[in-house]
Amino acid sequence: RKSLLSGIDLQCYENNHSHRTEEMDMVRLLVRRGQPFSVVLQCTDHIPRLPDHQLNLILHLGKNNEVVLKVSDSQQDHGKWWFSQCNAQGEVMLTLHSPADAPVGLYSMTVVLLSADGQILEQTKSQTFYLLFNPWCKDDSVYLPSEELLQEYILNENGILYQGSWDDITTVPWNFGQFEKDVVDICFEVLDNSPAALKNSEMDIANRGSPVYVSRTITAMVNANDDRGVVSGRWDGEYSDGVAPTRWTGSVPILRRWSEGGGQKVRYGQCWVFTGVACTVLRCLGIPTRCITNYSSAHDTDANISVDYYFNDQLESVSEGRKDSIWNYHCWVESWMKRDDLPEGYDGWQVLDPTPQERSDGVFCCGPCPVNAVKEGEVGLKYDTPFVFSEVNADLVVWIVHPDGERIQVSQNSKVIGRNISTKSVYGDFTEDITANYKYPEGSMKEREVYKKAGRQVGQKNEGPGQLELFIKHAPAIHGTDFDVIIEVYNAGREDTDAQLIVTSNAITYNSIHRGECQRKTTSLTVPAHKAHKEVLRLQYDHYGACVSEHHMIRVTALLQPTDQDNIILQEINIPLKMPALHIKIIEKAIVSRKLTAHISFTNPLPVSLQGGVFTVEGAGLTEAKEIKTHGKIEPGQAVTVKFSFKPTRAGLRKLLVDFDSDILRDVKGEATVIVRTKMQNRNVGLH
């Protein structure tokens, strides 16, 4: 008997287009669950009619095909795979229907021809396809009913991560690149390397239908603290055996480096790097995801919902050991999903924090934690809600430690932590403030109720302004220049008041590690009633230049102690030094596969010369990451221009991101937006 089946045409072009995966690949099949797709079975002859013959479809899932699924040819079994068929001339079109809760992953598919009595007559060579989450399908637990939001949270390969400080927000462009070549394979490789998958892959596969399980696994796997995770975190400024966290401009080089190194951790990341990588993986898998920055984020090391600062009698910091700290900002992601594992009311955005801070169930991961549970103070709901609640709601408490060890609480402030929680708007390159999703208005009755419910003491001590008030302002702070910081002490009372004022400036990292004190000034003053005293601190590059961190951030701390009372007023301001921008010029029209040249220029803003200058360039659909080294010194005020040529690979609106790094100046960024056309489109432009 001659064979009847000659092969399967997966119709990648048509299927990928209708499943919105055509950006990922056109030569492999990538489909989303809960949405049908069709393949064509090619035959050498007409298949003899039933009842003598029957077609069956077999799917395998898992590294070693451990999970086998027989696909039925009727729709009776609700919630199971099934297929329908339509016979054509010498071909059969098979339409496969996957359940909306099917495990995501790499499937292999075989078509089997059976005789009337169930004997296997022949079968096709197996073909593979990826099945992803489907936020366009209303039965999928990641369903998001807004095309505008999906354009951003699934399909946008470029984004913005927010840094700086709450009152001076700075932006870092990031290349997610979730549809770049082979990224989807690496995302599943990350899942396959999780401890649960290595321990029991059948159970892991069964759980991969759940976005709660998959997203929690990803937050644990993005950091390399416990497992074969992707990125190793480091905050101490010593990055010479890897890549400094500030140098990355996107996730793809990190994921590729991890995969090519056989699962060796990539050095080094900090919170925005973990966040960018997690966002790439989750968007790629089909879970709507956005990057969040929480300003003045509490890093509360003993879970008492307060951040405690300790000072001695001389007002020097004596917070030993693992001290509570307030990070200028902290980044995490939110992913959109139903929470069938929780009581009603907690679907929607979930916090997932891939930065290794605290262990959860024994591993460094955090989430998914419903944003709504944080807002309502429901700290008993999983996962990790008390930790997230504290990051956005802790009190700042200041203590004086006397020589005999006695501690006295001198102030408590509930307004400084968790400010301007920000994400990129879906309507363009600007921020959307989402603080109201996380908390009720400051000082409202509802806020008090939530605090009570979360077991947080509602502090009354020194909440209102006392007699003396303290304000800090500063002139424009441009990296490399000298600038003034003005500290104003205002006396709202009726009597003249004596006080001691101590002002220090410190070079800090974004997560409050002190890299060096720049200046300290102590003044005894008398502030007349209803008047203000102004103190000026001049910050000089000669002082801060030597110790400023790669985050180019100065923290000015002012402590005011009235002479006659055990009371301290603390004010802190974080000043991100303004960085120069890189200028990028692209002159020609951008056309797929045609060479394009970018001219990148940089001017040294510092009064000292730079060495080891290197530019890094990348962009989804434009070019993979490339380095361009500069030679010799770059003198103060000197301009450097480099040329970079590349061939765009995909049409559409694309961004080229550039970073400049050197021995003294790091984290200088630039970007250029280009519209890439196909050769066909280019011919049609300007004909009308």
401 CB burial (10 A radius; 0-12, 13-18, 19+)? middle
Listed in sequence order, the DSSP H helices in 531-580 are 541-544
Three-state DSSP state, 204: helix
Nearest partner of 458 among 392, 404, 393, judged by Cα: 393
- Tell me if residue 330 is catalytic: yes
Query: Is the bond preceding 343 in cis, omega lying within 30 degrees of 0?
Result: no
Three-state DSSP state, 195: helix
Q: Which two tokens stand for residue 670?
A: 């630039």
* Element holding 650 (H helix, E strand): none
State the binding site: 393, 395, 442, 447
Three-state DSSP state, 69: strand
682 CB burial (10 A radius; 0-12, 13-18, 19+)? middle
CB atoms inside a 10 Å sphere around CB 662: 19
Q: In this structure, are strands 614-619 and 514-527 parallel, antiparallel, or unpaired?
A: unpaired
Q: How far apart are CA 461 and CA 37, in angstroms?
A: 64
CB 410 within 8 A of CB 400: yes
State the binding site for Ca(2+): 393, 395, 442, 447
Q: What are phi and psi of 402, to 5 degrees?
A: -80, 160
Distance of CA 372 to CAs 378, 543, 584, Å?
A: 8, 46, 42
Distance of CA 22 to CAs 15, 17, 352, 523, Å?
A: 8, 5, 28, 66
Write down the catalytic residue from 330, 543, 551, 552: 330
What are the b/e assignments for 340-363, b being 16+ CB within 10 Å?
A: eebeeebbbbbbbbbbbbbebeeb
Q: In this structure, are strands 359-360 and 363-364 parallel, antiparallel, or unpaired?
A: antiparallel
Q: Which two tokens stand for residue 673?
A: 């937006």
Q: Using alpha carbons only, how large is the chain's radius of gyration in Å?
A: 29
- Tell me if residue 353 is catalytic: yes
Write down the catalytic residue from 308, 353, 659, 661: 353
Q: Which two tokens stand for residue 42?
A: 């090619």
Distance of CA 687 to CAs 283, 651, 683, Å?
A: 38, 19, 8
Q: How far is CA 195 from the centre of its chain?
A: 22
Q: How far apart are the first and last CA of the chain?
A: 60
Write down the catalytic residue from 12, 271, 331, 366: 271
What are the b/e assignments for 281-296, b being 16+ CB within 10 Å?
A: bbbbbbbbbbbbbbbb
Nearest partner of 495 among 469, 468, 471, 470, judged by Cα: 468
Q: Which two tokens stand for residue 459?
A: 């502090």
Query: Is the bond preceding 354 in cis, omega lying within 30 degrees of 0?
Result: no
- Tell me if residue 271 is catalytic: yes
Give 37's strand partners. 96
CB 168 within 8 A of CB 665: no
Residue type, 59: L
Distance of CA 36 to CAs 81, 93, 371, Å?
A: 10, 12, 33
- Counted residue by residue, the chain has a size of 688
What's 125-186 look like in SS3? CCEEEEEECCCCCCCCCCCCCCHHHHHHHCCCCEEEEEEEECCEEEEEEEECCCCCCCHHHH
Torsion of CA 206, 210, 213, 219, to 10 degrees: 130
| Residues annotated as catalytic (active site), given as ranges | 271, 330, 353
